[in-house]
Amino acid sequence: MRNKFLGQGEAGYHPIRKIKVCLSGMRYAIRYDFSVAYKVYLSLLMLLACFFLRQWIDFLLIMAATGLVLIAEMFNSAIEALCDFIETKENEKIKVIKDISAAAAGISILLWAVVLVVELSNLWKIFHT
């Protein structure tokens, strides 16, 4: 796609190419980043349970929390990789950047975990009634 600010690249908008790039990035993140992979698999299990039990609000809540945590984890991984690429030695400014990025991911993980625990307890009640 053409970069309107730099004036370089191909002209035109290609939505299929954007989808391919998105799926490629997701595949890479799941394959090589354990922190992304286990969240995807745990969330899929919960989503399947909610889907088959027709708990639509729970399904949507889990999907939203999972989306948030995956976005935060992937941004965190990208920021850390970029920082490591720019500066290979110990650097206090890079450390602060990485810490802030990790804190954002940590907050989203906490929210995701709370949602999963609450929804798991709801599903447990449904199974045992």
The verdict on 55 and 28 lying in the same domain is no
Q: Please give the helix or strand (H or E) that residue 91 lies within, else none.
A: none
The number of domains in the chain is 2
Nearest residue to 126 via CA among 53, 44, 42, 61: 53
The verdict on 18 and 49 lying in the same domain is no
Tokens for 103, please give them.
């804190």
CATH number at residue 101: 1.10.287.3610
Task: Evaluate whether 89 touches 19 at the Cβ level (below 8 Å).
Answer: no
pLDDT tens for 47-63 read 999 898 888 888 999 99
The verdict on 24 and 45 lying in the same domain is no
Domain that holds residue 106: 34-127
The verdict on 57 and 1 lying in the same domain is no
The verdict on 22 and 67 lying in the same domain is no
pLDDT tens for 4-50 read 666 676 666 778 888 998 999 999 999 998 989 999 999 999 999 98
Distance in angstroms (rounded) separating the CA atoms of residues 84 and 42: 29
